[in-house]
Structure 1
Amino acid sequence: MSDKVGIKADRFTALVAKVVRGYEDVSMSEIKRRIADGDYLYSGDLYKAAEIKKVLNLNDELTNAGINCLMYVHDEVTNKEYLNNLLVSYKQTEEWTEYVMDMEAQVEN
């Protein structure tokens, strides 16, 4: 099982290339190849909030341009709600960890 979040598109256009290149330094021919091979246009680490946000933003930009996209988690199709819930969960975990660390620091002092 892959710990990857990613996005795929149904076709190549110059706009797809422009949008993807705003997130990753990649050639147009590589973007064409990814689409033709059914690979991710963009993918990142599922456990990094910034990577999830990039996939969500890419999805929004491409969808608004009329490009059909699918987002994936663990190589399974997912949706915006799931990814946004992950982001909330990561934020809550970060806040809780910070709180616990602050409490432990106070106890040590």
Structure 2
Amino acid sequence: MDVILHEDHTIPLVAVNVWYHVGSKNEEMGRTGFAHLFEHVMFEGTKHHNRSHFEPLQKAGANLNGSTTTDRTNYWEDVPSNYLELALWLEADRMGFLLDGLDQQSSTSSATW
């Protein structure tokens, strides 16, 4: 894991950006769209949280999203600096416990994006 830190204390905001080195380049011919599907599935919750797991950050004024390209899938949050620990914990939770939270219903709803 690479961590890049740039400190700027002029405003009380923190940017968290998590990149996975997987994208459409990893898909097989005739079986495409999985990288983008998995990007959406990553917002479905985990073993510890349901689909609203990022709601506390959003209520605090955070902006967050994800995107998929040929080479990578990334997830980002711009959060008030006092929410950094929660943002990092939620990303770690999503990274480590996603599969435990998936079920047929959440997988089906993600497929309709």
Same fold? TM cut 0.5: no
- The TM-score with structure 2 as length reference comes to 0.33
* TM-score, normalised relative to structure 1: 0.34
Larger C-alpha radius of gyration, 1 or 2?
1
